[in-house]
Amino acid sequence: MTNISPEPILAGDIRAMARAATAIENRTAAAEPLLKALFPHTGQAAVIGITGPPGAGKSTLVDQLTRILRAEDVPTGIICVDPSSPFSGGAILGDRIRMQRHHADPGVFVRSMATRGSVGGLARGTLEMALMLDAAGKRVILIETVGVGQDEVEVARLADVTAVVLAPGMGDDVQALKAGILEIADVFVINKADLEGAARLEQELRAMLSLATRPVEVPIVKTVASQGDGIGEALAAIRSVQSGNKRDSVRLWALRLREMLRERLLERIPLEELGAAAEAVASRRQDPYTIVEQWLSTLY
Ligand SMILES: Nc1nc2c(ncn2[C@@H]2O[C@H](COP(=O)(O)OP(=O)(O)OP(=O)(O)O)[C@@H](O)[C@H]2O)c(=O)[nH]1
Ligand SMILES: [Mg+2]
pLDDT digits 0-9 by tens, 125-159: 888 999 999 999 999 999 998 876 666 667 677 78
Question: CATH number, domain at 48?
Answer: 3.40.50.300
- Return the amino acid letter for 254: A
Where among 205, 224, 247 does a domain terminate? 247
pTM of the model: 0.87
Q: How far is the CA of 50 from the centre of ligand 2 (A)?
A: 10
Instruction: Using the predicted structure, report yes or no on whether residue 110 has a pLDDT greater than 80.
Output: yes
- Calculate the alpha carbon distances from 277 to 77, 286, 287 in Å: 43, 8, 9
45 and 181 part of one domain: yes
pLDDT at 36: 97
Residues having CB closer than 6 A to ligand 1 are 54-60, 88, 91, 94, 146, 191-192, 194-195, 224-226
Q: How far is the CA of 57 from the centre of ligand 2 (A)?
A: 7
Instruction: Using the predicted structure, report yes or no on whether residue 46 has a pLDDT greater than 50.
Output: yes
Q: How far is the CA of 90 from the centre of ligand 2 (A)?
A: 10
Domain-located, residue 29: no
Q: How far is the CA of 68 from the centre of ligand 1 (A)?
A: 18
Average pLDDT over residues 49-60: 91
Among protein residues, the one whose CA lies closest to atom 3 of ligand 1 = 192
Instruction: Using the predicted structure, report yes or no on whether residue 211 has a pLDDT greater than 70.
Output: yes
- Judged by its nearest atom, the ligand closest to the C-alpha of residue 164 is 1
Q: Give the model confidence (pLDDT) of 178-189 as tens digits.
A: 667 777 889 999
CB proximity list for 193: less than 8 A, separation 6 or greater: 222, 223, 224, 229, 230
CB proximity list for 165: less than 8 A, separation 6 or greater: 50, 51, 52, 53, 56, 57, 58, 61, 189, 191
Range of the domain at 118: 41-247
Helix ranges restricted to H, 120-215: 121-135, 151-158, 179-184, 198-211
Counting from 1 in the atom list of ligand 1, the atom nearest the Cα of 193 is 31
> In total, how many domains does the chain have?
2
227 and 261 part of one domain: no
Average pLDDT over residues 245-267: 79
Share of the chain above pLDDT 70, in %: 82
149 and 261 part of one domain: no
Average pLDDT over residues 92-101: 56
Average pLDDT over residues 246-255: 76
Domain-located, residue 55: yes
